[in-house]
Structure 1
Amino acid sequence: MKKSIFNIVTTVITLLTLVSCEKFLETSPIDSITSKNYYETEEQLNKALGGVYQILARIYADGFQGVMGLDADEGFYNRSQQTTGISVNLVTTTDTKISTTWSALYSGIERANLLLENLNKPSMNEKNRNVIRGEALFLRAYYYYLLVTHWGDVPLVLESNKSVSDVHKVRASSVEIYEQIIRDMTVAEELVKPVTEMTNAGKVNKSAVRGILARVCLQMAGEPLKDESKYEQAKYWAEKVVDDGYHALNPDYKQVFVNLIQDKYDLKESIWEVEFYGNTNDSYNASGRVGINNGITYYGSNNEEWGYCYGFVAVNPTLYYSYGKGDLRRDWAIGRYSLSSDYTPVVTYFAALPSKQDASSHTVGKFRREYELSREKTQNGNSTNFPILRFSDVLLMFAEADVQASKSAPSEKAIEALNKVRRRAYGKMLTHKELVDTLILNQAGTGYKRIPDIRIIGGGGSQAKAVFRSMTSAGGLSDFVIVNKGSAYTSVPTVEVGNLWKAQTNYQVGDTVAYLKNLYAVNVAGISTNTPPTHTSGGVTIGARFLRVGDAVNMTATITNLNNVNADATINQVLSYQNFMKLIKAERSRELSFEGCRKRDLVRWGDYLDAMQQSYIDLQGISRSWLGRAGQNTTERDVLWPIPSSETTTNILMTQNKGW
């Protein structure tokens, strides 16, 4: 039986609440409750509010992580056999991902309407009642924001459904929808708690409301409505978050996402998150698939360290190349390695400067399952939270709204907001800014039978790591990549490759050691003497016997201090409105990649069609050219999704979007 958003029986709702001693929602689901015998206590109101929040988890648990095209030209569906569907922008009105999202959003709106209508039933503290009202109003408005930005004109339903036969609703204009969103969110901003009173990022707070209001206003100011008066409003709301004095960027970009993976709240940076809990083996399943859908591909089963990942989203090489030298965000946002499917996987690192072909093999790196604290990493559920609003986003929205409102060169405050994001990106906020900058291969070596390890030692620092990627037919090493530049290096560290010869060491046949510029293999087992091998053939006559087999690899390092790096925008980039907007667009992509912002950004800038078609062109000439299908299929109609056929066949007043 086909479902409609309006055939929900108002006397029966199901409130599925999330589970956690850490997270804010209750642990017990409440089934089959009626508005007549419920909403009688403050506890019941809070459980009903939990049901409104639960829609966020339903939406963001799966498709909204990239499979549904929300990352636009940043990433593509990583399956060669996928030729139709929303993941490749060849959509039909019967697409189940679209219809289930539509239904979920209207289910959330119905739950919010029911709660708001029954809010005054119990006797309770009025301040607490107003907080519940504010959160419910905001969530309803947010669900309408997702509806209007993905479907355009939609029915505006502000009362609970009174009859199962009342299914025929006309579409309200996008302007009307946006105006209601702003009204509800503005009221909510007065009612919800300030961020300083919150203990988690899953509940709505004033900063979240203000930041999302800035996002809503920016969307209205751009395509297709072009209400440019909203740029000033976007600036106003974003500036309230910036000037609040509470929020600050986490010094380490990587840590922002490790916190999301490990349930560590950092409200200064991560203002609002969708919360997930446990895995599919839990009694109450409130898990998501963040990092399972959109992570580094790994098909090994039941591995306690790495965790299964479908790797549905491949990276556009253009995004990879857009990061400047020294931008630390790239190697976290984009996975630098691939994993074999063994129980103990082989980690293969990509080249530091990959070809377009190799760059297209990268997948999303932000949500890495190896950082999950649980040892039970199941295939279809985990507890990693998904970010909806971060402070860096607010800074960039403020900078954009400032320059868009004036259509002239940005203010000093807008430039500073942008530069804060860039400074973090280039490590300027890190405590220990001294790191290994480059490795120099002075001698590539010959005669190696297997790829040796690289060790970076001394120099006062730690954690720097590099690996060789391949070996030549002559047993030489030349292709290497720095995996981690480490920190706190006060002097140039020493680089050792493979095993170095040591005196009084028990060696076995087949071991290889390096001494000075020579590489030796042990052809007689034994304990080495105090005299190192210096010969070019043969070896010592007692103890272990060494045979020279080639030249030893020799590498040296250079270090840099990030204090000396200039991360700020250049004079030319801030000289004009046009140049600053170009930089803003690039920074939003680099900073917020794979967080569900890109398509809406491109649409409001009027860049969506051109960007998607260009992505198809950019991916030609590689064997994985099928990644460009989404761009190839994109037409003007794809700015919006089609109204689900389940709705148009049930609701006789419903019309279809243009082109569908």
Structure 2
Amino acid sequence: MKYIKYLLVGILLNLASCSGFLDEDPATFFSPENYYTKPEHAQAAVNAAYSYTLNYYTASGTYAGTPHFMLEFLTGQAITKVGQNQSNHQFIGLSYNNDNEYIRNWWQISYYGVHASNLVLKYVPGISMNEGDKNRNLAEAHFLRAFYYFNLVRLFGEAPLLIEPIEDLGSAQDAEKASQEEIYELIVEDLKAAENTASLPDTDRTGRVSKLAVKSLLAKVYLTMAGYPLQKNGYYKLAADKAKEVIESNQYALFDEYGKLHNKAFENMGEHIFMAQFYPEIQQHLNHAYTLPFQMDISIVADEFGALLPEEEFYNSYAAGDKRVEEQQFFYTEFTPIAGKNKGKKVTFGYPAIFKHFDFDAENTARQALNYPILRYADVLLIYAEAQNEVGRTALAEQSLQEIRERAGFVGENFNGLSQSEFREAVWRERNWELCYENQTWFDMLRTRKAFNVKTKAFDDFVGHINLSSGKALQANNLLLPVPERETNINPDLKN
């Protein structure tokens, strides 16, 4: 198995110095024109653009915290046992504001990724190198810029739309906001440019962008555009058509076992379409330690944080017989450790913990480098089922939903008798149960303006829905995150 070994030495990160969302030390500035002269420089630039996909999932500045936790706490379906991390508790309690660390992280990481992608798109065309390699590098940069902007626009709404690298302080300070529709137009344009690149392979097992990864993200973008806030109803067909291309390529399939979702032997293949690539010698993360139950002495990992745990009522919302909630599938409530003072003894937690990201290698080595899923085939199947239902359900839409249900243990279900609205909610329920704790649920809540009610198994309106973990109601102002304070201090026009 090959892995991308991302260059995290910062050489590309210092090509431009600026303030605010691309905050760098001005002393590190040197002219990009002096750097981009060789094929190796092109690959280094692309690797730098990839590297920011990792940063959403790596530790932030506060104790037992990482930016992607934000999306789970907002849903109300996650809790923490770490009292010291105020960012976690602010999102659980819906009491965050524009100086929250996670908000700043999401904004900054995304714009660093945009900037790194823009460097590739501006300077790599001028390098004398193999044209196929060059075109693949450019396609990867288009995909990555679209990915970073997709995160930005869903979380913050209107935002600066940068299609050139930031190479002076003034252009960073004076950047103007673009409308959400303008940002989505660039996202679609970038993904189409990547999709139409002949040098991009259909699949890639090294972790690089593939043509089917582009199609998968494009289907997801179209589905989002069909929902709120744009409500471009015609985009449901575009989403269905693009997801169908991925399905009918026959290049991906659901794993026959849930355990393969977090088995390193199956990274970047099977059900995994695109992942954040972690590698022990390059960059690790703490997701394994952070999602272990709190101080149960079941791991050789030094700290067992209990930083991200499932809300028990959500865990209990799965139907009887659902394999995903069986022990050591998506969750676990007990474990027999292989080392430490409890070696060989079954330890019962008294509450569920998340198992779908459990890193068995970390249990043996304490080195945490399991890839994190960004796009997987189960998501594509559910995108197709939902989108096709909106334009006239077909047998393939029902089959796509059934594949998810059958793996979960529900064989022989028939959806023919469901109305459009009943089928829609059936798909939404599966998205909650299948894609939980993968940074998908909050984005679904934003685009549908609905939230899963674990008691009724139906969907509440977003505004007024009572979050499980806090007991507080979601409000309209929760639909967007505030632009970070230090950005609006520099440029007050960025306030949303």
Give the TM-score, by structure 2 length: 0.85
SS in 2 for 1:372: helix
d(CA) in 2 for partners of 1:333, 1:155: 38
What are the equivalent positions in structure 2 for 1:209-228 lying under 5 Å apart?
A: 209-228=214-233
Aligned AA (2:107): W
- Corresponding position of 2:354: 364
Answer yes or no: is the 8 Å Cα contact 2:201–2:210 preserved in 1.
Answer: yes
SS in 1 for 2:273: strand
d(CA) in 2 for partners of 1:600, 1:26: 28
**1:27 deviation in Å?**
5.7
- Corresponding position of 1:69: 72
- Corresponding position of 2:24: none
SS in 2 for 1:179: helix
Residue from 394, 403, 406 that aligns with 1:423? 406
- Which structure 1 residue ranges, 5 or more long, are not aligned? 1-20, 351-357, 427-565, 620-627
- Corresponding position of 2:448: 605
- Corresponding position of 2:188: 182
Aligned AA (1:580): F
1:635 counterpart = 2:483: no
Q: 1:225 to 1:77 in 2, by over 3 A?
A: farther
SS in 1 for 2:354: coil
Deviation per CA, 1:497-544, whole angstroms, max 9, x where unpaired? xxxxxxxxxxxxxxxxxxxxxxxxxxxxxxxxxxxxxxxxxxxxxxxx
Residue from 43, 48, 52 that aligns with 1:46? 43
What are the equivalent positions in structure 2 for 1:207-606 lying under 5 Å apart?
A: 207-257=212-262, 259=263, 262=264, 264-278=266-280, 284=282, 286-298=283-295, 300=297, 303-304=299-300, 308-331=303-326, 332-337=329-334, 343-344=341-342, 347-349=346-348, 361-369=351-359, 371-372=360-361, 375-377=364-366, 382-406=368-392, 410-426=393-409, 567-571=411-415, 574-606=417-449
Greater C-alpha Rg: 1
- Corresponding position of 1:478: none
**1:612 deviation in Å?**
8.5
Q: 1:86 to 1:319 in 2, by over 3 A?
A: closer
d(CA) in 2 for partners of 1:152, 1:118: 29
Residue from 190, 198, 201 that aligns with 1:194? 201
d(CA) in 1 for partners of 2:268, 2:164: 36
**1:94 deviation in Å?**
0.8
d(CA) in 1 for partners of 2:167, 2:153: 24
SS in 2 for 1:69: helix
Aligned AA (2:486): S
d(CA) in 2 for partners of 1:125, 1:70: 46
SS in 2 for 1:36: helix
d(CA) in 2 for partners of 1:581, 1:28: 43
- Corresponding position of 1:541: none
Aligned AA (1:24): I
More strand by share: 1
More helix by share: 2
Identity within the alignment, %: 26
**1:238 deviation in Å?**
0.5
d(CA) in 1 for partners of 2:105, 2:50: 17
Answer yes or no: is the 8 Å Cα contact 1:308–1:377 preserved in 2.
Answer: no
Deviation per CA, 1:300-332, whole angstroms, max 9, x where unpaired? 49x54x664312222223322332232211131
d(CA) in 1 for partners of 2:2, 2:297: 30
- Corresponding position of 1:157: 162
Answer yes or no: is the 8 Å Cα contact 2:114–2:148 preserved in 1.
Answer: yes
Q: 1:270 to 1:307 in 2, by over 3 A?
A: farther
Aligned AA (1:416): Q
Give the TM-score, by structure 1 length: 0.65
d(CA) in 2 for partners of 1:610, 1:214: 25
Answer yes or no: is the 8 Å Cα contact 2:195–2:215 preserved in 1.
Answer: yes
**1:595 deviation in Å?**
0.6
SS in 2 for 1:165: helix
Q: 1:42 to 1:66 in 2, by over 3 A?
A: same
**1:232 deviation in Å?**
0.8
- Corresponding position of 2:91: 86
Q: 1:30 to 1:610 in 2, by over 3 A?
A: closer
Aligned AA (1:644): P
Aligned AA (1:25): K
d(CA) in 1 for partners of 2:50, 2:357: 22
Q: 1:648 to 1:128 in 2, by over 3 A?
A: same
d(CA) in 2 for partners of 1:71, 1:121: 44
Aligned AA (2:271): E
d(CA) in 2 for partners of 1:374, 1:363: 16
d(CA) in 1 for partners of 2:85, 2:362: 33
Aligned AA (1:47): A
Q: 1:298 to 1:141 in 2, by over 3 A?
A: same
Aligned AA (2:373): P
SS in 1 for 2:347: strand
**1:614 deviation in Å?**
4.8
- Corresponding position of 2:27: none
- Corresponding position of 1:522: none
**1:422 deviation in Å?**
1.2
d(CA) in 2 for partners of 1:27, 1:637: 39
